A and B are shown apart, each in its own frame.
Chain A
Amino acid sequence: MSDNFAIYTEGLKKRYKGKSNPTLNGLDLRIPDGSLYGLLAPNGAGKTTTIDILCGLKRFDEGIVKIDGLGVPSKLSDIKRIIGLVPQEIALFPMLTGRENLKVIGGMYGVEGGVLNERVDELLYRFGLENSADRPITQYSGGMKRRINLLAGLLHKPKILILDEPTVGVDAQSRNLILEELAKLNKEGTTVLFISHYLEEAETICNRVGLMDGGKIVLEGNPTELAKSHPECKNLEALYFKLTGKQMRDTYE
């Protein structure tokens, strides 16, 4: 059954040393192949831990984790070839130009020569960076850095793309472009796991969302259908607040 999902977790548990409550408390995450899935959660709900576990960056205590039917961590080297991670931080080499960054990172993914050059040119064009590609990253605006950061995760044409808040700190134009391209990528067959604080973004582009709280999924479904099934909530944000509460969630545990 798990083989039908691009990302599948069952009873996933993770407790950090010295913390009384588990960060993940039996997380069942089912992301169908080819979907654009929005994972929404307040701070401290376990989003980043979930991403780290999916990408093999952290160990988990209990449960099953499968990416495209491949188990974590036993098939991690195979999994790394099919996933693309876009971290929240701008993970680029500041002394290099945008194009050089993409070529270096592409080379690390094993994409080389003419194929890499073509792919870099194509992505730079799609994300409106072709004219600034040869300038050092240090001269880029926040939105341009975000876009290059995103492109770096797409160079090897990943089957599954995981994005951790890719639109944080960007202007409306850059955000719009990013969201449009993510939707296009999804239509081209890439499964996208989109993690964001901006609920309206998820509502706009995602065909499926999961609301996470207390280390597990509390509600999941199509955003439009979810809103319909809760007529008392005028939008996804209202539903989100209803389920997770309005109190601040940042903790120092």
Chain B
Amino acid sequence: MLKRDLGGIILMFLMPVLLVILMANLQDSTLNFVKGNKIPLLLVNRDRGELGAAVVKEIESSGLFEIESDTADSYLTPTSMESRISPGDNMIGIFIPEDATKIIRGNVQKYVVSAFNGIDEVPVDNIVDITVLVDPAAKGSFHSVLMSTLRERSQKVQFEYIMREISQQVNDISPVAVNTANFSGEQFVIEDKFVTREGSNIMPNSVQHNVPAWSLFAIFFIVVSLAGNIIKEREGGSFTRLLTMPCSYAEYLISKAAVYLIVALIQFTLMLLIGVYVLPCTGLPALELGHSVIALFFVGFAVAVAAIGYGIAIGNIARTHQQASVFGAVSVVILAAVGGVWIPLFLMSPQMQLISKLSPMNWGMSGFYSLFLRDEGFLSVLPEGLALLTFGILCFTVALYTRRKKRIYS
């Protein structure tokens, strides 16, 4: 029987799949940028000492920058580097001059020796001129991070040399040897932790967001077909025949809902498989489903019940096929936009994040985030699942009430 409308069946499952693949790839760079896209940085280190090495190491370990160094055949100077700093090329350039470490060391030595020998007149410094070139389009935060890194590293190197020089001077005059080699000067540890319970702090990658988001959207889009089908049956006479059969109206709706529930769950499973197996082939990370399959399908089931309940309510309230299809489609798009399907929740303003809690799709997204991002279990998604189920049952009740109000038996 299914072969008779193979095109329809293929479209029903293929369109959401295409949507997931397309949107996941489209949003990949955007979400990566928001999450911390790497800034291209041109680093020229002419120093052969510890300062240069420490700065390079620190910049590399920050993970914020994509570092390009000069090569033997392109000997760069601060002036020639300027032409390489532009939005399409490198956004930041750093030039650490030759013998920077040696100069700092020499300066420190002069200061310490002068201090230990009671010389008040401090010799003139040789200044180490580290050049930082910044494209005006570069985000201020990256510039700030870079400058603080440079300052921190140069001060640390300077501090270590001061300690070393002082200990050397002290050892010259003290009978007991003083060793400051193991004194790093790092007395503070600042620990930063992400608070995982607040949904707005979660930053999913493109796959973690788009697979559940568009699965939700596809499941909710069943509303258009379901509501349209109810009205078509009502207008076409099948409904009249069905109502004269020995079953109640609730039974009729439940049997219709059961068929749509199966379709929705197949669609949901297919979308998950796309996330796990197909999206990695397009260069995106694979979707990690979390450890609880039961929790995953509980949320999927609850989303389907909510969507089907909503479709049944629209099908009973709307008077014409046009009303149902226009209202159904537009309301699903609005619920999706508000619920964080189009734009991830963490990118929304606090006010919109608050409003989004009104959308059942937000409850679904929240449940999926718990599973995919935090690897949580059944109990943690229970509130979202129950909220979705309640919404679905409420819509179903509204459908039955509407029918009763229209003064029809059964």
Contact = CB atoms under 8 A, between A and B. Distances in A.
Contact of B238 (A81, A83, A84, A92): A92
A56 B403 CA distance: 13
Interface string B237-268: 11111111111100000000000000000000
A95 interface: yes
Nearest to A91: B237
A53 to B, nearest CB: 9
Contacts, number: 67
Contacts of A83: 244
Nearest to A56: B409
Contacts of B1: 95-96, 100
Interface in B394-410: 407-410
Given A80-B245, A108-B245, A108-B247, A91 B240 contact: yes
A57 B242 contact: no
Nearest to A78: B246
A136 B5 CA distance: 12
Contacts of A77: 246, 248
Contact of A136 (B4, B242, B247, B408): B4
28 contacts: A55-B240, A56-B244, A56-B409, A57-B243, A57-B244, A57-B410, A58-B409, A59-B407, A59-B408, A72-B409, A76-B409, A76-B410, A77-B248, A80-B244, A80-B246, A83-B244, A89-B236, A90-B236, A90-B237, A91-B239, A91-B240, A95-B1, A95-B5, A108-B242, A108-B245, A108-B247, A136-B4, A152-B241
Interface string B19-58: 0000000000000000000000000000000000000000
Given A58-B408, A76-B409, A81 B246 contact: yes
A73 interface: yes
Contacts of A72: 409
A89 B407 contact: no
Q: Say what secondary structure dominates the interface of chain B.
A: loop
Nearest to A81: B246
Contacts of B248: 77
A100 B4 CA distance: 13
B408 A57 contact: yes
Max count, chain A CB within 10 A of own CB: residue among B1, B238, B246, B407: B246
Given A72-B409, A76-B409, 11 more contacts: A55-B243, A57-B244, A57-B410, A77-B248, A85-B240, A88-B237, A90-B236, A91-B241, A95-B5, A109-B245, A109-B246
A95 B6 CA distance: 11
A32 interface: no
A127 interface: no
Interface in B339-385: none
Q: Say what secondary structure dominates the interface of chain A.
A: loop
A105 interface: yes
A59 B404 CA distance: 10
A73 B409 contact: yes
Contacts of A214: none
Given A80-B246, A110-B246, A105 B407 contact: no
What 7 A-B pairs have minimum CB-CB distances, sorted nearest first? A89-B237, A91-B237, A80-B246, A91-B241, A87-B237, A91-B238, A59-B407
Contacts of A81: 246
A93 interface: yes
Contacts of B410: 56-57, 76
A77 B236 CA distance: 23
Contacts of B246: 77, 80-81, 109-110
Nearest to A136: B4
Interface in B215-232: none
Contacts of A108: 242, 245, 247
Contacts of B408: 57-59
Nearest to A83: B244
Max count, chain A CB within 10 A of own CB: residue among B4, B5, B237, B239: B237
A105 B245 CA distance: 9
A92 B237 CA distance: 8
Contacts of A90: 236-237
Nearest to A73: B409
B238 A93 contact: yes
Nearest to B410: A56
Contacts of B4: 95, 136
A49 B47 CA distance: 97
A136 B3 CA distance: 12
A87 B409 contact: no
B224 to A, nearest CB: 19
A91 B236 contact: yes
B230 to A, nearest CB: 14
A105 B241 contact: yes
B258 to A, nearest CB: 14
Contacts of A91: 236-241
Contacts of A152: 241
A87 to B, nearest CB: 4
A92 B236 CA distance: 9
A204 to B, nearest CB: 26
A253 to B, nearest CB: 19
A110 B251 CA distance: 14
A29 to B, nearest CB: 18
